[in-house]
Structure 1
Amino acid sequence: MTISRSEYKKMADKASPGTTYGKNLFFAFLVGGAICVLGQALVNFYMRSGMDIKEARAWVSITLIGLSALLTALKVYDNIAKFAGAGTLVPITGFANSIVAPAMEFKSEGYVVGIGGKMFVIAGPVLVYSTSAAILYGLIVWFFHLY
């Protein structure tokens, strides 16, 4: 059976789900914003506890990373990510999720091969390219004395 290009396009359009860019954008903004609001609330909390701004921000990063790692281990973070899409990827919580999720998936293979070996499957390239970009940027600044 041979079908024409236009018939194939009609079949593909019928089988493809519609796009929901507006809804996806709204939920990404809502959840990403909520994560940032939580971060600011934690900064305020830590500063009221007696920390200076620099120390409070460091503890916020630690808290958000730990919270997202815990939610990933409990399989809650994935449900939030399905709902929010990119809203959970951009903040620091998304990076923590990208490290913990593969480790949890392969934990049955053991600590070294499973958790240790798979932990940086997704995050590894990010670390390599961000470190390489930082070195390249540093060399450009050093070469042209742009500081």
Structure 2
Amino acid sequence: MDINLSKTQYSEMYKEASKGTKWWLTIPKAFCIGGLICALGQALLNMYLSFGLSKDNASMSVSITLVFLSALFTGLGWYDKIARHAGAGTLVPITGFANSVAAPALEFKTEGYVLGLGAKIFIISGPVILYGTLASVVYGLIYYLFLR
């Protein structure tokens, strides 16, 4: 399919696509919903501590619970609805990372387990894992060589 656009048509499409957001609404919504996710994490931590778990085990349990809920909500289609309103408020916590793994898994499962699910599951989160690991190695070397 060949699309031929004039400069004016392209300019009009560009202006339409790049309309500004209502930042005075999106920033508070992202802050509040991100804060609610963090408050849920704190409530879970308090609950797990009250069950008698050590602080380390309670923290691990909170992470597991939030990742599970994020994957579940992604599978049910709820996470996208929340993210549509919350914006970056759902991306920053661990829930955003879990969503970035679960969403491609759901999207590409029809292509099969190997070429679909296996090949595409880390399509969004893969660069985060790669560069996060690389950055930690670089920071570790800097610390080892210069700061210890």
Q: Which amino acid aligns with 2:139?
A: Y
Match of 2:78 in 1: 76
Question: Distance in 1 between the 2:111 and 2:53 partners?
Answer: 42
Secondary structure at the aligned position of 1:90 is classed as: coil
Query: Which sections of structure 1, spanning at least 5 residues, go unmatched?
Result: none
Pick the aligned partner of 1:126 from 125, 128, 140: 128
Change (3 A) 1:102 1:12: closer
Could you report, residue by residue, the CA deviation over 1:113-135 in whole angstroms, capped at 9, with x for unpaired residues? 11111100011111000000000
Of all paired residues, the percent bearing the same amino acid is 55
Instruction: Map residues 1-147 of structure 1 onto 2, 5 A cutoff.
Output: 17-144=19-146, 146-147=147-148
Secondary structure at the aligned position of 2:53 is classed as: coil
Could you report, residue by residue, the CA deviation over 1:48-104 in whole angstroms, capped at 9, with x for unpaired residues? 111011110000000000100011011110110001000000000000000110110
Give the CA deviation at 1:14.
Answer: 7.9
Question: Distance in 2 between the 1:18 and 1:61 partners?
Answer: 35
Question: Distance in 2 between the 1:100 and 1:85 partners?
Answer: 18
Q: Which amino acid aligns with 1:78?
A: D
What's the TM-score, normalizing by structure 2?
Answer: 0.87
Give the CA deviation at 1:17.
Answer: 3.8
Moved over 4 A (4+): 11-16
Question: Distance in 2 between the 1:133 and 1:143 partners?
Answer: 15
Question: Distance in 2 between the 1:22 and 1:77 partners?
Answer: 23
